[in-house]
Structure 1
């Protein structure tokens, strides 16, 4: 750009002539274009799927074509256990405010019903597993935040280890009286 200005500068005899020749060549290379204005056509009241069917686009298979992966399943489960823990807190808070007697009374009533050890253990496990899973998976995520265990092989290894540790932790919590 500075070369063009130097050639076209006030002290240059050759510059203006070169610029004039190049500009006329460029102007001759440009062709005129005209635009035709038409009023906008209102869209039809059809859904996205109806439009795609009308113009012949296939429906995307979305998740049905993918093989379930451990990483996706663990991520979904982490979110689900977080929601379950939130539900626990809400239910316990609501019961503390609305129940006539303290929560200990209702626990004693369950013990007096003499439900078998198997169903009680299963119920305790269903309550303890979300806590155990969310806790240990949270530790796994904290390790990722320190840039550790981020290769695919390590992600899968820590995923399986976390599942084992959280299951054992839930069993231990369920065995407590």
Structure 2
């Protein structure tokens, strides 16, 4: 019965006066929340470094393919012209092999780690000890594969 006798009045208030324009960081500061230290407190691990390298070599390969494709479209010369220019530099065999190794490494690494990921997709080598052992094997394989490519 008391609720029926109660009077309620409504007041219209603009939305702008009730909603504060507060950023995520301002809200966390007001509430006394500290910023998470994330990467600054963690020691690099083999797994994280291999993952970062896999992404980096994938991006390098993508940029390289785009650069070669655009270069072929824009260039007024064919590949023989550029081969002749490099031969004209008269670089030593060791220097040429080192340059070829540097250029081929993203392909060798990304291929070896891609095969490792394919094994993971089948559910194999997912225990932590196996992840580390396949990681070391993949790094060794990538160097061997790249050396083969550089010596061709």
TM-score range, shorter chain: 0.7 to 0.9
Q: Choose which of 96, 99, 103 in structure 2 pairs with 1:123.
A: 99
Q: For residue 66 of structure 2, what is the aligned residue in structure 1?
A: 90
Alignment map for 1:132-151 (pairs within 5 Å): 132-151=108-127
> CA–CA distance in 2 between the matches of 1:47 and 1:100?
53
> CA–CA distance in 1 between the matches of 2:60 and 2:83?
20
> CA–CA distance in 2 between the matches of 1:49 and 1:171?
49
TM norm structure 1 = 0.71
Deviation string 1:124-174 (CA, Å, 9 cap, x unpaired) is 111100000111111111111121111110110000000011012112211
The count of aligned residue pairs is 140
Q: For residue 42 of structure 1, what is the aligned residue in structure 2?
A: 19
Larger Rg: 1
What residue ranges of structure 2 are gaps of 5+ in the alignment?
Answer: 1-9
> CA–CA distance in 1 between the matches of 2:58 and 2:102?
14
TM norm structure 2 = 0.82
Alignment map for 1:96-175 (pairs within 5 Å): 96-175=72-151
Cα offset, 1:55, TM superposition: 3.2
Q: Choose which of 75, 78, 87 in structure 1 pairs with 2:54.
A: 78
Q: For residue 18 of structure 1, what is the aligned residue in structure 2?
A: none
Q: For residue 56 of structure 1, what is the aligned residue in structure 2?
A: 32
> CA–CA distance in 1 between the matches of 2:133 and 2:109?
16
